[in-house]
Amino acid sequence: MPFATGKKSKAISDRSGMEFPYPEMVKEWNGSLVHYTEYEPKHPQLEPKPKGGDAQGLQDARPARTEPAVARVLDINPLILTSGSSTVSVFEEAHGRSTGNIVRFRDGEGGYGIGINDINDSNGHSITVTDTDHYTWNAATTATQQARIGGGSISAGPVTLTP
């Protein structure tokens, strides 16, 4: 069935209800017949692009490794001395150490009968854990006074450090 060319025909816009020449009318994506000045393309969010699946494997994957032990910087003056005793108590918050571990102190300052060489012994000290924040070790000499020593840059860690 042939259709007329519509040179003088008029059409009513589905959007505005106004009359326009038939040749100037266009059909929108939703089937509405509108004037070309009223045309609105389909919004891109109505047809989202499909996404591919997430990658599962990694190229050049490496197995998990165990971190090497490192020295931890302690608070200022963490070594607690008791007058007349060779037992030195150490404050190290949440140390996670066990009785019998060997701990080496570095950059510790001595005083009150406990020497700097005794604190910074390269062989380390066998410790006894007293609670989650304290442990003790035995010095070679006896403290002459009750005090806190060690300095501001003392650290505690394993006997040997892995670079």
Average pLDDT over residues 84-94: 95
Average pLDDT over residues 57-79: 86
Domains of the chain and CATH, by start? 10-39 (no CATH), 72-153 (2.40.30)
Alpha carbons 104 and 120: distance in angstroms, whole number: 7
Average pLDDT over residues 102-107: 94
According to the model, what pLDDT value does residue 53 have?
77
Confidence band (pLDDT; 50, 70, 90) for 8?
A: confident
Query: DSSP string of 47-72?
Result: SPPPPPPPP-S-TT-----PPPP--E
The model's pLDDT over 32-65, given as tens digits with 9 standing for 90+, comes to 999 999 999 998 888 888 888 777 777 888 888 8
Judge if pTM exceeds 0.85.
no
Q: Does residue 159 sit in helix, strand or coil?
A: coil
